[in-house]
Amino acid sequence: MSPTGVTLKSALLCLMPVLFTPAMAADAPALYQQHCAVCHNAQRLGGMGPALLPGNLKRLRKKAAVKVISDGRVATQMPAFAKTLSAPEIQALAEYIYTPASDNIVWGLDEINASHIQHHLEAELSDEPVFEVNDLLNLFLVVELGDHHVTLLDGDRLEPIHRFKSRFALHGGPKYSNRGRFVYFASRDGWISKYDIYNLKLIAEIRAGINTRNLAVSHDGRYVMVANYLPHSLVLLDAVDLKPIKLYDVRNNAGQTSRISAVYTAPPRNSFIAALKDIPEVWQIHYGDSPPVGFGQWMHDYNPESGEKAETETFPVRRIPVDDYLDDFFFDQEYVSIIGASREGKGQVVDLDVGRVIVPDLALPGMPHLGSGITWEYQGRTVLATPNLRANNVSVIDMESWETIKHIETLGPGFFMRSHENTPYAWVDVFFGPDKDAMHVIDKRSLEIVKTLRPAPGKTAAHIEFTRDGRYALLSIWDPDGAVIVYDAATLEEVKRLPMNKPSGKYNVYNKITRSAGTSH
């Protein structure tokens, strides 16, 4: 025995790699149900967290999966299990999630159609709201994740109007119809819901996927496009009743399939734009009545049996190759450029006019959260500002030269950034780390932090949204015992608090349908 009480044999055992045994494999399903099922679904189909099946883990090697289970994952709600599970248990879980599902998972048009629920017919409902407000475009919807409800908020009186139950784990932000009467929600488990704000009634629901990323609504209000993680598909729905129009089996020319990182609408192009998570491509799906320019270059419907591609005039797809995966992306205000980045932090700019990458290596260190990027005018030029999920700063980039103007140092990585055309300030949260209760206010003229708010010490402060006129800024306290806190956007003083159950996001009708430069699109 050594003086420290450690034998040579025990020391050598500590240095040996963990061996995966059949006994560990037998325990893995039980470990999964105990520690993982609540977020990832009992069948590994995804819920609050993504699906954990081989087809959805193509970009995550087993060694990296072990690290994620052990240490957690930046910019997600994935916790670290190093102190909860042993190394062999973590290894067993990593092996388990790479085993194929016992059942063949199918969710095609037959399954989608069978899930359709028509609660009310739009044509039978009144065009007049059943409540009184001064401005129907200054309404907010507040998603309360704590108990899966949504609150309709009057942006003039800053008081709730109505609260209703939502599907489990809404994600990607609700999207409004072009006039703001209807709102469309996507849940993590694939349910798409259409709600009539004027009549406070659910119109229709359909399950468009098993594990869904987000949805987009065409600017003319006719179509809804759903992006899925599982199966690897895009689903086009009729915006009136949510009945499916077309299912896109997302794959490249070699037959490789892909999850969808996100889908958004590009109004000037009469198109949906989708980034693929497992294939370095961007898809532009045209929904206008007239064929797009360069129609002969648009393709659709890869047939895996014949290996042929067929052109069609019905919602054709234009495939744009990119240099790296786009896990997140952002439009300029003219919808000419896509600014995208991979989870590894590689940024690039794609020109939709020419259909290619024009800036292959945009300086965006720290994994930018481009879905939360905003723009404004600074010294006669348009700049893009985005928080970074792995760095304590906000990147400010000149959108003409694509050079970084400044990295604004923050107390920690941020998740959401917002502003408004009528305010000189941009607000960015910290969200991760010990200073998650901090909210920075940046002067857009000087690019300096002018104030740091701590509205609820110890609780996460996040997601600013402004009233239609930019007079008030609404902040969320992400906690079951949380609140929406209203600030005067000029004086930065608190006005009032509205208690809510983990309010994750607030969405102003006017700012969203007019695509304000200060909010996400």
Average model confidence (pLDDT) across the chain: 88
The DSSP output letter for 244 is E
Judge whether residue 74 has pLDDT over 70. Answer: no
Judge whether residue 295 has pLDDT over 80. Answer: no
CB 442 within 8 A of CB 457: no
Highest-pLDDT range among 27-31, 37-41, 166-170: 166-170
pLDDT-derived band at 296 (thresholds 50, 70, 90) equals: low
Higher pLDDT residue, 292 or 477? 477
Q: What is the pLDDT of residues 303-336, one digit of tens each?
A: 444 444 544 568 999 999 999 999 889 899 999 9
Cβ atoms < 10 Å from Cβ of 392:
19
pLDDT of 56? 73
Unique residue bearing structure tokens 């040996």: 16
Cis peptide before 291 (omega within 30 of 0): no
Higher pLDDT residue, 40 or 184? 184
The structure tokens listed for 358 are 């024009």
Helix 87-97 with 22-35: angle, nearest 10 deg: 80
Pairing of strands 244-249, 260-266: unpaired
CB 211 within 8 A of CB 273: no
pLDDT of 305? 46
Between CA 425 and CA 443 the distance in angstroms is 5
Q: Kindly tell me the sign of the dihedral angle through the C-alpha atoms of 506, 507, 508, 511.
A: positive
Judge whether residue 251 has pLDDT over 90. Answer: yes
Q: What is the average per-residue pLDDT within 124-129?
A: 96
Rounded percentage of the chain residues whose pLDDT exceeds 90: 65
Higher pLDDT residue, 260 or 41? 260
Judge whether residue 10 has pLDDT over 60. Answer: no
Judge whether residue 302 has pLDDT over 90. Answer: no
pLDDT of 8? 35
Between CA 194 and CA 238 the distance in angstroms is 11
pLDDT of 24? 53
pLDDT of 322? 95
pLDDT of 29? 83
Between CA 470 and CA 272 the distance in angstroms is 29
Q: What is the average per-residue pLDDT within 167-180?
A: 90
Higher pLDDT residue, 279 or 311? 279
Lowest-confidence range among 71-80, 344-353, 399-408, 486-495? 71-80
Lowest-confidence range among 9-18, 120-129, 199-208? 9-18
pLDDT of 298? 67
Judge whether residue 88 has pLDDT over 90. Answer: no
Q: CA 12 → CA 3, 8, 9, 17, 515, distances in Å? A: 17, 6, 5, 10, 62
Domains and CATH numbers, the chain: 8-97 (1.10.760.10), 107-134+155-279+281-321 (2.140.10.20), 368-521 (2.130.10.10)
Beta bridge partners of 196: 182, 201
Rounded percentage of the chain residues whose pLDDT exceeds 70: 88
Judge whether residue 514 has pLDDT over 80. Answer: yes
Between CA 285 and CA 218 the distance in angstroms is 11
pLDDT of 22? 53
For the entire predicted model, the pTM comes to: 0.85
pLDDT of 41? 82
pLDDT of 18? 43
The structure tokens listed for 219 are 């600017």
Beta bridge partners of 186: 192
pLDDT-derived band at 353 (thresholds 50, 70, 90) equals: very high
Residues 6+ apart with CB under 8 A from 263: 213, 214, 215, 216, 225, 226, 227, 234, 272, 273, 274, 275
pLDDT of 32? 81
Q: What is the pLDDT of residues 383-423, one digit of tens each?
A: 999 998 888 999 999 999 999 999 999 999 998 999 999 99
Q: What is the pLDDT of residues 415-471, one digit of tens each?
A: 899 999 999 999 999 988 999 999 999 999 999 999 999 999 999 999 999 999 999
Beta bridge partners of 382: 377
pLDDT of 97? 86
pLDDT-derived band at 7 (thresholds 50, 70, 90) equals: very low
